[in-house]
Amino acid sequence: MSWPLIIILIILFILTLGGTLYVVRQEDQKLKQYEREGDSAEAQLKRSREYESSSLKSNVPILTIIYGVTFLLAILAIVLYIKFR
């Protein structure tokens, strides 16, 4: 492999990792907010049910976009490398 392709893929990996950590950080902030508000069994059950539905609407689409774009850019980089080597 050539160095430019390796560098592009490393940058792409770092950006993907950053996006994933952003989603994790959002969830961590929600958890800290819940801890500050107090935890009762009823509140935990309610949050659990809300998380099951809201996670599919917020986190999964964001991560799908992040990994989809990463996959497409990686494939594009490899195709360009093969074409111009």
pLDDT digit string (tens) for 13-35?
A: 999 999 999 988 988 898 888 78
pLDDT at 11: 92
Q: In the chain, which residues have pLDDT < 70?
A: 1
Residues 6 or more apart whose Cβ sits within 8 Å of residue 16: 66, 67, 70
pLDDT at 17: 93
Any idea where the domains of the chain sit in the sequence? 3-84
The answer to whether 8 touches 77, Cβ cutoff 8 Å, is yes
pLDDT at 1: 56
pLDDT at 20: 92
The one-letter amino acid code at 19 reads: G
